[in-house]
Amino acid sequence: MDNDMGAEAAARVREILASAKRLAVEYYRLTGKPLGVTGEVAEYVAAETLGLKLAPPRTTGYDALRACERIQIKGRAHGKKTNSGQKMGRINTEGPCDTVLLVVLDNATLEPREMWEASFGSVVECLAQPGSKARARGVLSIPEFTRIARRVRPVVPTYRPTTKTPICN
């Protein structure tokens, strides 16, 4: 993945992200709070792994392209002791988008565990289901999303929630 940058710049970006991941993991271990680099790590991991072209910063509606397909990328650090109903970040329903991709990162290392993708239409349909203040704000839980998505990268054994959450049809 060069995303219009040279090989030297791409190598430097990998080095910077590796350093940021180490710092974020240590910060989380010491404070119990995230450092806030999950989204950038998820975008880069998705682009590298799936061969996506990252969109310019602050592009409305999507973060990357796969040919002409516009992909909104959501990253979430998740661990063994994490709440099974953990929420994804807000999904932007106002801009152009074809696919929503969730990159689940191990919260102890920020290494990718799995990637899931769903059509933007099915995500919008799920968000429109009544009965949830979170969905009304554009937020799905990981279990809600994985029920409507397909797993595209099983990096480690699949995450399966232990509690029941609403199913979006």
Q: Is the pLDDT of residue 168 over 60?
A: no
Phi-psi region of 52 (alpha: psi -120 to 50; beta: other; left: phi over 0): beta
| Confidence at 104, pLDDT banded by 50, 70, 90 | very high
| Confidence at 116, pLDDT banded by 50, 70, 90 | very high
Q: Is the pLDDT of residue 163 over 60?
A: no
Q: CA 53, CA 44: separation in Å to the nearest integer?
A: 10
| Confidence at 86, pLDDT banded by 50, 70, 90 | confident
Contacts of 36 (CB under 8 A, 6+ apart): 24
Domain ranges of the chain: 7-154
Query: Regarding the domain delimited by 7-154, which CATH topology (the fold level of the hierarchy) does it fall under?
Result: PvuII Endonuclease; Chain A (3.40.210)
Mean pLDDT value across residues 19-38 = 90
Pairing of strands 99-106, 64-66: unpaired
- Give Dmax (Cα) for the chain: 50
Q: What pLDDT is attached to residue 24?
A: 92
pTM of the model: 0.84
Q: What pLDDT is attached to residue 66?
A: 96
Q: Is the pLDDT of residue 87 over 80?
A: yes
- Own/partner contacts of 15-18, CB < 8 Å, gap of 24 or more, are 17/41, 17/44
Q: What pLDDT is attached to residue 83?
A: 65
- Give all strands (DSSP E) within 28-163, no chain letters: 53-54, 64-66, 69-78, 99-106, 112-119, 150-154
Q: What pLDDT is attached to residue 81?
A: 65
Q: Is the pLDDT of residue 156 over 70?
A: no
Mean pLDDT value across residues 38-67 = 94
Q: What is the mean pLDDT of the chain?
A: 87
Are 75 and 107 within 8 A, CB to CB? no
Q: Please name the amino acid found at residue 157.
A: P
Q: What pLDDT is attached to residue 4?
A: 67
Between 83 and 40, residue with greater pLDDT: 40
